[in-house]
């Protein structure tokens, strides 16, 4: 697939939705034009508003793609996903540590073969784009070559992706273990090659505290401090056995979060996946440091990890997003993530509105990454990464839609009944990278 180079000026007429604030529990924080027009110029949003007004001023030379039967919104942003786990998805039924040993580590071993990794990267990116995800924060494997292959594949398609080589130098199979110091050297080489190259960014990626030695965690902290704009991603407080094990390995730490904190890894642009079994003080510490949580509903249910507490996270002022965590997660589709997120809220007597669910997978996720001025908003001047959702693509949804009247009802139908069939077009910098114009 060709990268989206030299995008033409083009307008899309559709129902338009974008967010400007966190809707919270309110029916607010969004802009919706049932008959709207999005104008893209040189890959960026030039105008977003009611079609009636914008069409009057539009040059007749600019083609208008008519999708009035569809909903156009920012592309999804998946803040936590593992690229090699395209080969693990659908292997749940075990708790985290057992699942890693039984399924994940053997699958990740195959990525020592860079050609294998390069082919899998294409499958992974096809899945992301086919499900309407235009940016993801991605764990590769411990292999430098596999990480290189992922970045190269994303670069060829012109995508905005954040990724990193997994750091892991203990408590893992020998065949996936960084040699002493080796993981940090490889990380530095990958940062030099890829961080800030085209639309790509690097995330320093210790898998989790238990699988990195103290020198490796300290080195990860040094690297994040040295390079402006770097991201950091890891796992936190996912599963009771993992938490107890971490406590044994780091007996001096006040908490699981404190292990990362003492190495300078709790900071802006740091995304911690799961954050389920947490003390409130740690949520507050993350918020104060400018870090964010990634709520991974299908993974948390599939691995029996626990229920993410939205109310406690909000009470701490901790930003969070909704993510898939494929392959612990069971679907690339953020519709599935949103639907399961709502159920997890209800199991705790909480409520997640459909509007907020869509926010958490678009602008809310961009805010967690510090990229809200760039992606996820469709604000004027931002990058034109968006999706065209066709509610007619699923007959049952089309039938139910004909009976619903409000935007909230439509969004609930989409996240309940929707899957990749709904993603008619995915655009990167205004150019289709999945489906057709
Ligand atoms: Zn994960």
Q: State in Å: Cα 214 to ligand 1 middle.
A: 21
- Report how far ligand 1's centroid is from the alpha carbon of 294 (Å): 10
Q: Does the bond joining 327 to the residue before it have cis omega, within 30 degrees of 0?
A: yes
CA of 55 to the centre of ligand 1 (A): 45
149 CA from centroid of ligand 1 (Å)? 20
CA of 233 to the centre of ligand 1 (A): 10
Q: pLDDT for 161-210, tens place per residue? A: 999 999 999 999 999 999 999 999 999 999 999 999 999 999 999 999 99
Ligand 1 centre and the CA of 40: distance in Å?
35
Predicted local distance difference test score (pLDDT) of residue 404: 82
Question: Cα(236) to centroid of ligand 1, in Å?
Answer: 10
| Å from CA of 358 to ligand 1 middle | 21
Tell how far the Cα of 288 is from the centroid of ligand 1, in angstroms.
Answer: 24
Cα of 290 from ligand 1 centre, angstroms: 21
Rounded Cα distance between 142 and 134, Å, is: 24
Residue-by-residue DSSP string for 40-105: EETTEEEEEEEHHHHHHHS-TTS-EEEEEEEEEEEPEEEEEEEGGGGGTTT--SS-HHHHIIIIIH
CA of 205 to the centre of ligand 1 (A): 11
pLDDT (0 to 100) of residue 5:
52
DSSP one-letter string for 163-222: EEPEE--SSS-GGGPPPTTHHHHHHHHHHHHHTTSTTEEEEEEE--GGGS-HHHHHHHHH
Level-2 CATH architecture, domain 10-75+377-435: Roll (2.30)
pLDDT tens across the length of the chain (437 residues): 445 555 579 999 999 999 999 999 888 999 999 999 999 999 999 999 999 999 999 999 999 999 999 999 999 999 999 999 999 998 878 898 898 989 999 999 999 999 999 999 999 999 999 999 999 999 999 999 999 999 999 999 999 999 999 999 999 999 999 999 999 999 999 999 999 999 999 999 999 999 999 999 999 999 999 998 999 999 999 999 999 999 999 999 999 999 999 999 999 999 999 999 999 999 999 999 999 999 999 999 999 999 999 999 999 999 999 999 999 999 999 999 999 999 999 999 999 999 999 999 999 999 999 999 999 999 999 999 999 999 999 999 999 999 888 999 999 999 999 999 999 999 999 999 999 88
Query: Are the CB atoms for 11 and 58 separated by under 8 Å?
Result: yes
Tell me what pLDDT residue 2 has: 47
User: What global pTM score does this model have?
Assistant: 0.97
Please classify residue 175 by burial: count the beta carbons closer than 10 Å to its beta carbon, then call 0-12 exposed, 13-18 middle and 19+ buried.
exposed
What are the CA-CA distances from residue 30 to residues 27, 33, 251 (Å)? 8, 10, 46
What is the 116 CA–ligand 1 centroid distance (Å)?
A: 21
The pLDDT mean for the chain works out to: 96
Q: What CATH superfamily classification does 76-332 receive?
A: Metal-dependent hydrolases (3.20.20.140)
How many Å lie between the centroid of ligand 1 and the Cα of residue 273? 6
Tokens of 62: 């600019």
Instruction: Please give the distance, rounded to the nearest whole angstrom, from the Cα atom of residue 132 to the centre of ligand 1.
Output: 20
Buried (b) or exposed (e) across 387-413, using 16+ Cβ within 10 A?
bbbbbebbeebeebbeeeeebeebbbb
Q: Are 176 and 108 in contact (CB under 8 A)?
A: yes
- Domain edges within the chain: 10-75+377-435, 76-332
Task: Report the separation in Å between the CA atom of 81 and the middle of ligand 1, taken as the mean of its atom positions.
Answer: 6
pLDDT at res. 320:
98
H-helix segments, 227-333: 240-249, 256-261, 280-289, 297-302, 310-315
What whole-number distance in Å separates Cα of residue 141 and Cα of residue 365? 23
């Amino acid at each position: 697939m060709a990268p989206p180079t030299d995008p033409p000026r083009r307008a899309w007429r559709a129902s338009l939705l974008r967010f400007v604030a966190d809707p919270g529990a309110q029916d607010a924080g969004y802009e919706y034009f049932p008959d709207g027009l999005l104008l893209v110029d040189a890959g960026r949003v030039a105008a977003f508003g009611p079609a009636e007004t914008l069409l009057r001023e539009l040059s007749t030379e600019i083609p208008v793609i008519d999708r009035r039967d569809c909903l156009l919104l920012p592309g999804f942003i998946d803040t936590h996903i593992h690229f090699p786990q395209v080969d693990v998805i659908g292997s749940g039924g075990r708790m985290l540590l057992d699942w890693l040993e039984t399924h994940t580590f053997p699958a990740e071993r195959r990525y020592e073969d860079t050609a294998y990794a390069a082919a899998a990267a294409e499958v992974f990116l096809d899945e992301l784009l086919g499900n309407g995800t235009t940016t993801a924060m991605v764990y590769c494997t411990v292999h430098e070559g596999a990480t290189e292959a992922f970045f190269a594949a994303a670069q060829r398609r012109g995508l905005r992706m954040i990724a990193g080589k997994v750091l892991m130098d203990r408590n893992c199979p020998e065949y996936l273990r960084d040699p002493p110091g080796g993981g940090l050297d490889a990380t530095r080489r990958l940062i030099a090659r890829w961080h800030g190259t085209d639309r790509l960014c690097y995330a320093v990626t210790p898998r989790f505290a238990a699988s990195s030695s103290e020198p490796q965690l300290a080195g990860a902290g040094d690297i994040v401090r040295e390079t402006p704009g770097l991201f950091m991603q890891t796992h936190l407080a996912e599963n009771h056995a993992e938490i107890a094990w971490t406590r044994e390995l780091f007996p001096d730490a006040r908490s699981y979060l404190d292990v990362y904190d003492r190495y300078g890894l709790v900071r802006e642009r740091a995304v911690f996946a799961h954050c389920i079994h947490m003390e409130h003080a740690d949520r507050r510490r993350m918020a104060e440091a400018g870090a964010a949580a990634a709520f991974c509903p299908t993974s948390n249910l599939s691995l029996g990890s626990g229920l993410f507490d939205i109310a406690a996270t909000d009470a701490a002022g901790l930003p969070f997003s909704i993510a898939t965590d494929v392959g612990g997660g069971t679907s690339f589709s953020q519709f599935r993530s949103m639907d399961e997120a709502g159920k997890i809220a209800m199991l705790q007597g909480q409520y997640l509105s459909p509007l907020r669910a869509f926010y958490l997978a678009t602008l809310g996720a961009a805010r967690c990454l510090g990229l809200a001025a760039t992606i996820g908003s469709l604000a004027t001047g931002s990058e034109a990464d968006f999706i065209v959702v066709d509610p007619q693509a699923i007959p049952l949804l089309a039938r139910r839609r004909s009976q619903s009247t409000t935007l909230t009802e439509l969004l609930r139908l989409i996240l309940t009944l929707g899957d990749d069939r709904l993603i008619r077009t995915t655009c990167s910098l205004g150019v289709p990278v999945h489906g057709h114009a």
